[in-house]
Structure 1
Amino acid sequence: MQRNRQDGAAALAHAPGDYLTRAETLALLQIKLQTLYAYVSRGWIRSVPQGDKGRRLYARQDVERMKSRADARSGHAPVAAAAMRWGEPIISSTLTEITAQGPRYRGVAALDMARDGQTFEAVVKALWNTGDDITLSWQPCARTLRFADAWPGTAGLQPRRELVRFFADIALRFGSEHLRGVRSSDVQFVAASRMIATMAHCLGHLRRPHDGAAATSARKRGGGLSATLLAVLGGTVSPQHIAALDAALVLCADHELAQATFVARIAASAGADVGECVAAAILTQTGLTSARSYEATEDLLRACKTVAQAQRLFEEHYAAHRNLPGFNHPLYPDGDPRARYLIDVVRRLAGRHPSVEPLFAALDIAAKHGCLPSLEIGLTLLTIALGLPPRSAFALFIISRSAGWVAHIVEQRTSGALIRPRADYLQTCPASSNSAEDVLPVDGAMLAAESHT
C-alpha cells in the first residue's frame, strides 16, 4: 500500500496536468460524491492518493472519457459536430475571448490595448502572462539568420513566393536549436520571443531586389520589434509609423481557435515542441482562408492605381463573385472592429504612401454592396500606406500571430490533455457498386459520394 502511494506521488510529480481534484471531477461530470466513489470502485476512473489525509486525485483521461459518454447519451454529438464549424466553444482557455468589439486578451480588449499605445512586446508579455520576473529576449538567433539567408539557394525558392514554407523552415530550424525538449514555460517563452524576433529580421527577403547590406544594417538597429520591421522592410522608421505598426501587431496577436491555432494545440497535445507546433500552424496558413485570402486581397487592392480603376475593379469583382476578398468575417456580422480601427489609423497616418488614396473609394464601393472589411483589408491597407513591399501584410500577420500560437501551445502542454476527437462514421458505398455516383442518406441529408475506380 505504501509503495502504491509512492508510485502515485511520483506520477503526479511528473504529470500534474493529468489529474483532477475531487471538486473539479464532480463539477465536470455533474455527479454526486457517492457516484464518483462508485465509478472508482468499478475501475472506471483511476485515482491516486494526495498527501496523507485521505485525499485523492482522479485521472483526467478517465474523467473526460466518462464525460464524453454522458454527453453522447444526452445527444450532445450533433452539438459537438456543429461546434467544429464556427459553433460553440469546444476547448477551455484563459487566453482570448471573441466579442462583438473584437478579441479580448486575458480579459482586456485588444482594441483598448491598441488605443492606449501599448507596444507589441508589452502585449505579448500580457498574453503569455510572464509577469515581471521574466525578461523576454527580442534578439534574433545569428545561426538561424544565416540559415534564412542561405535558404533561397538551398531550397531553390524565393521567400516572397513561398513565404509559408520559408517561415515554417525558420521555426523548425530555430526550434531544433533552442526549444527541443524544453519543458519549463518560462524558458519556452524566452526562446519563443527570440524566434519571433528572428522571423522578423528575415523579412528583408520580401524586398525586390533583396538588399543584403540594408538587411544587415537593419538587424543592427536598436528599438522595438515594430521599428525593426519597418527598417528591414524598407519603411519609414518614424514614431507615428512605429505606433501604427504596433497597433496592427497587437490586433493580430490572437483570435481564439482559428484553424492554425487549433492545429498548434493538437500538435502540442501530442508532445511536439514549440518550434514544431508553430511550424505546423504556419503550414496550415496555405489554405483559402489565410495565405490565399491575403494574396487575393492584396492583388485586388494593389491593382487599383486610380479612383476610377478602383471603382471599376471592385464593381467587376463583385459582379463576378458576389463577394470581395478580405470582407465579411463570419464572426463579425456587423463588421470586423480590428479592420475598422486599422482603416482609421491609415486615414490619420501622416506621410502615407499616395498609392493608398484610391483605395478609400474602393471601400465605399464595397460598402454599397454590403461588404464589410475584415482584418486582411485593414492590415493590407496599412502596409500599402507605410510603403512596404508586397506580401508584407501576410508576413506581419504570421509574425504577430506566432505570439498567440505560442500562448496556446504552452497552455495546451501545461494542461496535459490530449486532443483526440472522435469521427462520426458514415456508411460507405458497396465496393461492388457500378454507379458513377452513389447518394447515401446521412442524418436526413443526402451525401454524394463519388466513386473512385
Structure 2
Amino acid sequence: MSENASDHPSGAGTGTGTERRLTTQEAAQLLGVKPATVYAYVSRGQLGSRRDPVGRGSTFDAREVEALARRSRREAAVPAGELSVRTSLTLIEADRYFFRGVDAVELASRHPYEEVAEWLWTGTLPQGARFTASPEALAAARRAVAALPEHSGPLDRLRVAVAAAAVVDPLRFDLSEEAVLGSARCLIPTLVGALPEVAPAPGGDGRLARGLWPRLTGQEPDPAAVDALDLALALLVDHDLAASTLAVRVAASARAHPYAVVSAGLGALEGPLHGAAGRLAHRMLAEVLERGGAAPVVAEHLRAGRRVPGLGHRLYRGEDPRARALFGRLEGLPQAAPALGAAREVAAVMARHGLHANVDLALAVLTVSCGMTAEAGETVFAVARTAGWIAHALEEYQERPLRMRPSGHYTGPRPPRPLP
C-alpha cells in the first residue's frame, strides 16, 4: 500500500473506543524513522494503516506501532554483521541443552518422541500423545514416493512425500497455531508411512518409533531397540539454529506454509556438511568392525586429509550430551556391544586431539547394530527434526514478515559500464 497525501493533524493520537490511533508523523517519531519509511513498513506488511476519515492521510494502531518499535530496538542491539534470532525453544550452554528450560536429555529419556514434540510446540506435555496420518495425504505421498527411481535416497523420498501431502491439504495456507499443529501431527506420520518397508510391519502400539522401525531394518522390532530409536528421535527434535533450522526460519519469515518450511529444512539437510554426517559415521564404524580396530581406520582418514566423522561439535567442549544419553541406552542392548565398543575405541584414539563423540557416532552405533543401512541415520534425523522445524516456524510466524533480509555487499565493477 502506498499513500502520498500529507497527513492532517486532526485527531492525532486518538481513536474510537479503546483503540488509540497515531498519525504518520507520530508513528515515524515513535519508530525513529522518516514518514516515508512508515509507508514502507505498510507496503511490506509490517504495519496496518487506515485512512483518516477527517484528514487526508493515514492513521496507525498505536499498539502495533509500539510493538514494531520494540522489535526494532531489540534487533538494533545485535552487533553489526551478526545474525541473531530470538527463540524460546532450545538453550545450549555448559555442555547441556534444554527444551523450554527443561533438561532435554532428561525429558527425552522419560517421554516418547511425540510428547517431546508437543512440549516443544505448546509447552504442555500430554500423556500418551500419538500422531495420525490423514488417509488422503498418506495415499498421495505413497503414490508419489513409489514413482521415484529405485535408487532414490531417503531424503529424496521425504521431500517428495512432503510435497504430495501439501497438495491434498486445503488448510495448508492457514498459519494459525491450531491449523499448523494439526498439519504437523498429520505430516510427521505421513513421512514415516510413505517410506518403503524393509520388512513387513506387524501391528504396533501407535508410536512413531514403532512405525519407523520396519522402514529402517528387517530385524524383529525388539522393544528395547525400538525404545533406543524412540530416544534418538526425541533427542534430535531440535538443536537451536542449525543450517536447516535457519532455512526454515527464512521460509517462515516469508510466510511459507508449514509443508514448504519443512521442504526448506530438508533441502538444507541434503548438504554434505549437515545431513551426511550420520552416513559417514556408520560407514566408518562398519569398517572398524570389519578390520578389528579403530587405529588403522582413523589413520587412513587423517592421512587422506578427511575429518573423522562422529567426533567433535562446535557447541560442546566435552562429549555431546545426546551421544552420552544414546550410548547409555544402547549399553542395554546385547547386539549393540560390538558397535558400541568400536565407537568407544574411535573416541579414545581421537581423545588426544580434544575431540569427543557427538550424536552422529551414537546414531551410527544404533544403525550398525540393528542392521540398518548407512542412510538410516539421515532418515531418523530428518523425521525427528521435522517437529523442531515446525516449532521454529510457529515462532517465526509471530515475528514481522520478511525480517530476514540482509543487505548484499556488492563487490563487482562499479557502474556505469557499456553493454557487453
Q: Which amino acid aligns with 1:311?
A: A
**1:54-99 CA distance string (max 9 Å, x none):** 993143796379649966xxxx6xx342x34xxxxx1111111112
CA RMSD of aligned residues (A): 3.9
1:270 pairs with 245, 254, 258, which one? Answer: 254
- Report SS of the residue matched to 1:365: helix
- Report SS of the residue matched to 2:276: helix
- Report SS of the residue matched to 1:372: coil
| 1:221-300 alignment, distance < 5 Å | 221-233=204-216, 234-300=218-284
8 Å contact kept, 2:285–2:342: no
Q: Cα distance, 1:423 vs. partner?
A: 2.2
Q: Which amino acid aligns with 1:225?
A: L
- In structure 2, relative to structure 1, the CA distance for the partners of 1:320 and 1:65 (3 Å cut) is same
The reply to whether residue 59 of structure 1 matches residue 83 of structure 2 is: no
8 Å contact kept, 2:279–2:364: no
2:162 pairs with 171, 176, 182, which one? Answer: 171
**1:245-280 CA distance string (max 9 Å, x none):** 222111100011111111111111112110011011
Please identify, of 324-333 and 222-231, the stretch whose mean Cα deviation from structure 2 is larger: 222-231
Q: Which residue of 2 aligns with 1:29?
A: none
* Whole-angstrom distance in 2 between the partners of 1:64 and 1:172: 37
1:127 pairs with 120, 125, 149, which one? Answer: 120
The reply to whether residue 141 of structure 1 matches residue 125 of structure 2 is: no
Q: Which amino acid aligns with 1:193?
A: R
* Whole-angstrom distance in 2 between the partners of 1:47 and 1:184: 19
TM-score, normalised by the number of residues in structure 2: 0.78
| 1:372-387 alignment, distance < 5 Å | 372-387=356-371
- In structure 2, relative to structure 1, the CA distance for the partners of 1:35 and 1:171 (3 Å cut) is closer
Q: Cα distance, 1:131 vs. partner?
A: 4.0
Q: Which residue of 2 aligns with 1:87?
A: none
Q: Which residue of 1 aligns with 2:172?
A: 180
Q: Which residue of 2 aligns with 1:419?
A: 403
Q: Cα distance, 1:286 vs. partner?
A: 1.5
Q: Cα distance, 1:177 vs. partner?
A: 1.9
Q: Which amino acid aligns with 1:259?
A: A
Percent identity, aligned pairs only? 23
Q: Which amino acid aligns with 2:85?
A: I
- In structure 2, relative to structure 1, the CA distance for the partners of 1:135 and 1:226 (3 Å cut) is closer
**1:99-148 CA distance string (max 9 Å, x none):** 23332111111111133x21111111111116479996512233444444
8 Å contact kept, 1:168–1:280: no
* Whole-angstrom distance in 2 between the partners of 1:260 and 1:41: 36
* Whole-angstrom distance in 2 between the partners of 1:366 and 1:40: 55
Q: Which amino acid aligns with 1:372?
A: H
8 Å contact kept, 2:145–2:161: no
TM-score, normalised by the number of residues in structure 1: 0.73
- Report SS of the residue matched to 1:373: coil
The reply to whether residue 302 of structure 1 matches residue 293 of structure 2 is: no
* Whole-angstrom distance in 1 between the partners of 2:102 and 2:74: 32
| 1:350-389 alignment, distance < 5 Å | 350-352=334-336, 354=338, 357-389=341-373
8 Å contact kept, 2:142–2:161: no
* Whole-angstrom distance in 1 between the partners of 2:27 and 2:167: 49
Q: Which runs of 5+ in 2 are unaligned?
A: 1-9, 39-46, 51-59
Please identify, of 295-304 and 144-153, the stretch whose mean Cα deviation from structure 2 is larger: 144-153
- Equivalenced residues, count: 385
| 1:140-219 alignment, distance < 5 Å | 140-151=133-144, 154-159=147-152, 162-178=153-169, 179-205=171-197, 207=198, 211=199, 214=200, 217-218=201-202
The structure with more helix, counted as a fraction of residues: 1
| 1:54-93 alignment, distance < 5 Å | 56-59=62-65, 63=69, 67=73, 79-81=79-81, 83-84=82-83, 90-93=84-87
- In structure 2, relative to structure 1, the CA distance for the partners of 1:143 and 1:7 (3 Å cut) is farther
- Report SS of the residue matched to 2:186: helix
* Whole-angstrom distance in 2 between the partners of 1:102 and 1:155: 41
Please identify, of 424-433 and 297-306, the stretch whose mean Cα deviation from structure 2 is larger: 424-433
- In structure 2, relative to structure 1, the CA distance for the partners of 1:44 and 1:204 (3 Å cut) is closer
Q: Cα distance, 1:310 vs. partner?
A: 3.2
**1:161-210 CA distance string (max 9 Å, x none):** x22221111112212222422233123212212211121223445x3xxx
* Whole-angstrom distance in 2 between the partners of 1:290 and 1:347: 27
* Whole-angstrom distance in 1 between the partners of 2:125 and 2:234: 20
Q: Cα distance, 1:43 vs. partner?
A: 7.0
* Whole-angstrom distance in 1 between the partners of 2:72 and 2:398: 22
1:319 pairs with 303, 306, 325, which one? Answer: 303
- In structure 2, relative to structure 1, the CA distance for the partners of 1:369 and 1:420 (3 Å cut) is closer
* Whole-angstrom distance in 2 between the partners of 1:56 and 1:256: 33
8 Å contact kept, 1:102–1:337: yes
Q: Cα distance, 1:347 vs. partner?
A: 2.5
* Whole-angstrom distance in 2 between the partners of 1:153 and 1:269: 33
8 Å contact kept, 2:295–2:346: yes
- Report SS of the residue matched to 2:91: strand
- In structure 2, relative to structure 1, the CA distance for the partners of 1:410 and 1:108 (3 Å cut) is same
- In structure 2, relative to structure 1, the CA distance for the partners of 1:245 and 1:153 (3 Å cut) is closer
Q: Which amino acid aligns with 1:184?
A: S
- In structure 2, relative to structure 1, the CA distance for the partners of 1:176 and 1:60 (3 Å cut) is farther
The reply to whether residue 101 of structure 1 matches residue 95 of structure 2 is: yes
Please identify, of 392-401 and 298-307, the stretch whose mean Cα deviation from structure 2 is larger: 298-307
- In structure 2, relative to structure 1, the CA distance for the partners of 1:69 and 1:176 (3 Å cut) is closer
- Report SS of the residue matched to 2:412: coil
* Whole-angstrom distance in 2 between the partners of 1:158 and 1:150: 16
8 Å contact kept, 1:136–1:193: no
- In structure 2, relative to structure 1, the CA distance for the partners of 1:331 and 1:132 (3 Å cut) is closer
8 Å contact kept, 2:91–2:240: yes
2:330 pairs with 327, 346, 353, which one? Answer: 346
8 Å contact kept, 2:285–2:339: no
* Whole-angstrom distance in 2 between the partners of 1:167 and 1:60: 42
* Whole-angstrom distance in 2 between the partners of 1:198 and 1:326: 29
**1:345-391 CA distance string (max 9 Å, x none):** 22332343755543432332222443212221111212222333331
- Report SS of the residue matched to 2:62: strand
